A and B are shown apart, each in its own frame.
Chain A
Amino acid sequence: MSISRRKFLKRAGLLGCSAAASPLLTPMSFAALPSDNRLVVIILRGGMDGLDVVQPYGDAALKGLRPTLKAGEAAGASDLDGFFALHKGLKDLMPLWDKGELGFAHAASTPYRDKRSHFDGQDLLEAGLGMDGLGRVRDGWLNRMLQVIPGVEPQTGFAIGREEMLVLTGGAPVSNWSPDTHMNLSDQSRRLLERIYHDDPLFNASVAEAIELAEVLDPKMVETDADGDDAAMMKQQMMASMRGGAHKRVAEFAANRLKENTRVAAFSINGWDTHNNQRQALRGGLSRLQDTILILKKQLGDVWGKTAVVAMTEFGRTARENGTRGTDHGTGGAMILAGGAIAGGKVFGEWPGLTEADLYQGRDLRPVMDVRDVSATVMQGLFGLDQSLLEGAIFPGLEMTGALRLTR
């Protein structure tokens, strides 16, 4: 990961379960929020090819751009609206589309342009800033949303998985955990750890959160005797953590939290950097994404009706197939919206076209929509946030078009 960034508040010791009131707090009352809704943000790392996932097979120019990457029925894709078709790797989501619980925002991008770096691209995606934000990334937009909502508790926002999620990092207290993590400590060791971490803000905040979460999530595991069972238990836990299907455990964990007091969850799905043999390379990511959405729907039960899932990526890929049956880093891409709270059954966005003149720099799908506008609109629909907050504290510099109706 590039290195000139991320001066998190953690370093200054401002972050943790007991984070003090944020200067961005507004006098909005908790009751003003329809806070029973849920938002799940999935970061698709690697640059998902929107043109292959939501295929504009009705655009005559597509065929010429992509000689071996087929689209539409020829590729086993499911027709959506006569113009777009959904990649066959997501075909099990079609019942959601039919019920209006699945939609897409197409030709969307962050303000990131031109150098097409995954890492800067992901930073801007998660920071929710404009190009001028590069190198000044401090926190994530999802965290800034929590900063403007009073009454937020540490478990209101939950980052899940083994990796840090910048999008949910910042001054508002949030929780971070991985479903494969366990911590079995004696009472005495817990007290001693708190003592030795006391003067190191980063360790202190992390251990406080770890202890609290281990108690909530895995109560029987926390207290163990110092007799011989530790090794056996550890072995069992370690073997379990190596099993495949980690993404399914993340989705189940997210659903379980969202059924409790969590309102906002964020995690990543990796594997979208399909430079080579994309037909094959795209399968893994799509199957993980499809599993994830289906598990969320199933596990959430009634709560699915109040849930919006928004999946987004750092950039789309070249409109033209490259010379190795893949695609290179591009600009405009697609976002996936799912959940009972989504007013789906629709591909949002004004299609920019794919002729040479339509393409951004003669190479990429031209963005017609700002990823931040889509996120802001969903958040406005779910949580009733003021436009001024969305365009100020949460996405500074964003001008919402107001043209989208994405939630029920």
Chain B
Amino acid sequence: MAFNSETAAIRFGTGLSAKIAPPASVDDMLARLKGPDAMAERFPIGHFAQVEELMEKIRKLNKLRREDPDKRVEVQQRIGKLRNQAQRQQIEWLRAHMARSIFTEDGLRERLVRFWADHFTVIGKKSMWRFAVSTYVEDAIRPNITGNFAELLKTATFHPMMLMFLDQVNSVGPNSVVAARTPKRGINENLAREVLELHTLGVDGAYTQNDVFELAKLFAGLTYRRKGGFTYDAKMSEPGPETVLGKAYGGYIQDLFHVTDFLDDLAVHPDTARHLARKLVVHFISDDPDAALVAHVAAAYRDSGGDLMATYRAMLTHEAAWAMPAEKVKQPIDFVTSSMRALGVKEKKFAELKWKKIRTYVIAPMGLMGQMWENPTGPDGWAEEAEHWITPQGLAARIQWAMTVPTQLRSKLPEPVALAKTALGTRLSLELLQACDDSVDNADGVGLVFASPEFQRN
């Protein structure tokens, strides 16, 4: 079995739609992906600099509060307003993120953005950074998903959100200039460990605790400054050299290029190829992936020196990518957006939906489905396994959403059987068809379509 457009839309895209044609071929999918990013233009998401500006305002207000205690109440109120503004902004960015999936002709791009954003998970831990994750994805991930993995790795690793999330910003070499001045300061291993364990080699990869520590020393100096953004501060860095994975880096001038050299080497490590290939295949095709397919994708990655387009092409041209039965389960964000896409939600209506309704119809229910938007429990991001999502409570939340939210999104609901044909094509089962006929009303019928296993699996 090879390419078919239905699987292309469901497994590798954002779902079927009555109005938007599915991809015509693998070449078509890859050409769109390589082409201009139309959705980013049409549904803009802000940049990290906007959140930095907001942070700057808050810093000034805090300063004012310290200097003039009489203004405390006023300052408190103004900070509260800024926080609300940031929260609203985060919701608007979610709206744009969803709109891209609902209205795109280039679904693979949206799926890959989510895949890589999850691979390089960041969580905003405090203040306005809590609302800044979308801007990190927009600035660091989205523009780099069609180039070389090394670029993506470096951009994500050096982004302020990553440096803050994994506590790199204050880590200094034990023999650095800074540590000589303030002996209590030193190394923090967090980013070094996760770069090896999660972002490149994988936990089964060829590294040891000692590599983690050596890499943490090599990373010392990577930091984020209010003014100037990402910075390599030689005064924070360890004189070196540090030997990581058997090779020495640094040891003469202290400079960022030692770190980039290391990340370039790491990107083409065979364990990285294997780990990334497996993750891609698990995300798109099977929780229990075909070993030959993984090997095929890993080989393409290795042979191309980490070229992501070549890697995707290898996955998409392998027979198993299309032949595997649909056993994955959509994550809540994919479940919700593909439902809206099939439902034919109108662009204008979606754009005008009050932000509070985005909370009630999307953010809260996704939380109950197990996906708190931009807030996974750890740096490993969201789970892949179907069993993780289809728990009694998670499934109940999906059913509840399917039965109640669609009526709020369309003034007139589609007829369930027609919707089922749109959303599922040839995957529509006789049981579901019969159930649509037997449902008490359109709302319940539509609910059954979205609640069905064939819609939730991809």
Residues of A within 8 A of B (CB): 1-4, 6-8, 10-11, 45-46, 67-68, 114-120, 135, 162-164, 169, 175-178, 180-186, 188-189, 192-193, 195-200, 202-203, 206-207, 209-210, 213-214, 226, 230-231, 234-235, 238-239, 241-242, 270, 273, 275-276, 322-326, 328-329, 361
> Are A202 and B390 interface neighbours, CB within 8 A?
yes
| Interchain CB contact under 8 A, B392 and A1 | no
11 inter-chain pairs at a CB distance below 8 angstroms, sorted by A residue, are A6-B387, A115-B197, A186-B444, A192-B438, A196-B431, A199-B429, A275-B167, A323-B187, A324-B167, A324-B186, A328-B189
**Contact string, B418-458, partner A, CB cutoff 8 A, digits 1/0?**
00000000000101101100111101100110011100110
Known interface pairs A116-B193, A189-B403, A226-B441; 18 further A-B residue pairs with C-beta atoms within 8 A, sorted by A's residue number: A3-B384, A6-B387, A67-B184, A162-B367, A164-B387, A175-B392, A188-B440, A189-B448, A196-B431, A199-B431, A202-B387, A242-B364, A242-B367, A273-B378, A323-B170, A324-B167, A325-B184, A329-B193
* Complex Cα gap A102–B288 (Å): 43
In the complex where A67-B184, A177-B393, A181-B397 touch, is A323 in contact with B431 (Cβ < 8 A)?
Answer: no
Q: Is B243 interfacial (CB 8 A cutoff)?
A: no
Contact A162 B387 (CB under 8 A): no
The verdict on B202 contacting chain A, using a C-beta distance below 8 Å, is yes
Q: A119-B380, A276-B170 are in contact. Are A234 and B400 (CB under 8 A)?
A: yes
B185 at the interface (CB under 8 A from A): yes
**A198 (CB) vs chain B CBs: closest residue:** B431
Measured between alpha carbons, how far is A120 from B197 in the docked complex, in Å? 11
B299 located at the interface, meaning its Cβ lies under 8 Å from any Cβ of chain A in the complex: no
Q: How far is the CB of B354 from chain A (nearest CB, A)?
A: 12
Bound together, the chains give a CA A239 to CA B456 distance in angstroms of 25
State the CA gap A239–B357 with chains docked (Å): 11
Give the chain A neighbours of B190 by CB distance below 8 A. 273, 275-276, 328
Question: Which of A118, A177, A192, A207 is in CB contact (< 8 Å) with B435?
Answer: A192
Please tell me if the beta carbons of B381 and A1 are within 8 angstroms of each other in the complex. Answer: yes
Q: Which of B48-100 contact A (CB under 8 A)?
A: none
Which residues of B have CB within 8 Å of A8?
Answer: 385, 387
A214: chain B residues at CB < 8 Å are: 396
Flag if A7 contacts B390 (CB, 8 Å): no
- The answer to whether B167 touches A241 (Cβ under 8 A) is no
Contact call A329/B378, Cβ cutoff below 8 A? no
**B160 → chain A, closest Cβ, in Å?**
15
Residues of A contacting B391 in the complex (Cβ-Cβ under 8 angstroms): 164, 176, 206
Alpha-carbon distance between A4 and B205 when the two chains are bound, in angstroms? 13
Contact A323-B186, Cβ < 8 Å, known A46-B378, A117-B203, A241-B368:
yes
Which residues of A lie under 8 Å from residue B363 when comparing CB positions?
242
Whether A196 contacts B435 by the Cβ 8 Å rule is yes
Inter-chain CA distance A241–B361, complex, in Å, is 12
The answer, among A6, A199, A200, A231, for a CB contact under 8 Å with B404, is: A231
Select from chain B the residue with minimum beta-carbon distance to A180: B368
| B278 interface residue (CB < 8 Å to A) | yes
Instruction: Kindly state whether residue B256 has any CB partner on chain A within 8 Å.
Output: no
In the docked arrangement, what's the CA distance between A135 and B202, Å? Answer: 13
Residue of B with least CB distance to A175: B392
Q: Which residues of the other chain, B, contact A241 by a CB distance below 8 angstroms?
A: 364, 367-368
Residues of A within 8 A of B177 (CB): none
Q: In the complex where A119-B203, A188-B439 touch, is A323 in contact with B368 (Cβ < 8 A)? A: no
- A163 B377 Cβ-Cβ under 8 A: yes
Classify the interface of chain B: helix, strand, loop or mixed: helix
Q: What residues of chain B lie closer than 8 Å to A324, measured between beta carbons?
A: 167, 170-171, 185-186, 188
User: How far is B38's CA from A136's CA once the two chains are assembled, in angstroms?
Assistant: 44
Known: A180-B368, A186-B440, A242-B364. Contact between A196 and B174, CB under 8 A?
no
B359 contacts chain A at the CB level, 8 A cutoff = yes
Contact code string B311-345 (vs A, CB < 8 Å = 1, else 0): 00000000000000000000000000000000000
Pairwise interchain contact B453-A203, C-beta atoms closer than 8 A: yes
When distances are taken between beta carbons in the complex, the residues of chain B under 8 Å from A7 are: 288
Measured CA separation A224–B453 after assembly (Å) = 24
Of B197, B208, B394, B451, which one neighbours A117 at CB under 8 angstroms? B197
A361 to B213, CA, bound (A): 13
A10 and B388 CA atoms in complex are apart in Å by 11
A322 touches B187 (CB 8 A): yes
Do A2 and B380 have beta carbons less than 8 Å apart? Answer: yes
* B360, A189: Cβ atoms closer than 8 Å: no
Complex alpha-carbon distance, A105 and B167, angstroms: 30
Query: What is the bound-complex CA distance between A231 and B212, given in angstroms?
Result: 52
Cα A186 to Cα B440 with chains together (Å): 9
Q: What's the minimum C-beta distance from B94 to chain A, rounded to whole angstroms?
A: 14
B368/A162 in contact, CB under 8 A: yes
Q: Which 3 A-B pairs have the closest CB atoms?
A: A323-B186, A238-B364, A210-B392
**In the bound complex, what is the Cα–Cα distance between A6 and B212 (angstroms)?**
27
Task: Select B209's contact among A116, A180, A188, A206, beta carbons within 8 Å.
Answer: A116
A10 vs B457: C-alpha distance when bound (angstroms): 15
Give A263 to B212 CA distance when docked, in angstroms. Answer: 42
| A residues near B393, Cβ cutoff 8 Å | 162, 176-178, 181, 210
With A189-B439, A195-B431: A207-B395 Cβ-Cβ less than 8 Å = yes
B148 within 8 A of A: no
Q: How far is the CB of A127 from chain B (nearest CB, A)?
A: 15
B188 to chain A, nearest CB (A): 4
Q: Does B383 contact A (CB under 8 A)?
A: yes
Q: How far is the CB of B397 from chain A (nearest CB, A)?
A: 6
The answer to whether B11 has its CB under 8 Å from any CB of chain A is: no
Residues of A within 8 A of B448 (CB): 189, 192-193, 196
- Residues on the A chain within 8 Å of B386, using CB: 11, 202
A6 to B448, CA, bound (A): 29
A3, B400: Cβ atoms closer than 8 Å: no
CB-CB nearest in chain A for B383 = A1
B162 contacts A by Cβ under 8 Å: no
List chain B residues, Cβ under 8 A from A322.
Answer: 186-189
Q: Are the C-beta atoms of B392 and A209 separated by less than 8 Å?
A: yes
Closest to B432 in A: A196
Q: Tell whether B159 is near chain A: CB-to-CB under 8 Å.
A: no
| CB of B4 closer than 8 Å to a CB of A | no
Q: A322-B187, A329-B193 are contacts. A238–B384 as well, Cβ < 8 Å?
A: no
Given A3, A46, A323, which contacts B287 in the complex, CB threshold below 8 Å?
A3
Please pick, from B392, B394, B440, B457, the residue contacting A213 in the complex, using a CB distance under 8 A: B392
Which residue in chain B gives the minimum CB-CB distance to A268?
A: B377
User: Cβ of A115 and Cβ of B209 under 8 Å apart?
Assistant: yes
Q: B440 to A226, Cβ gap below 8 A?
A: yes
Chain A residues within an 8 Å CB radius of B186: 322-324
Distance in angstroms between the alpha carbons of A67 and B179 in the assembled complex: 14
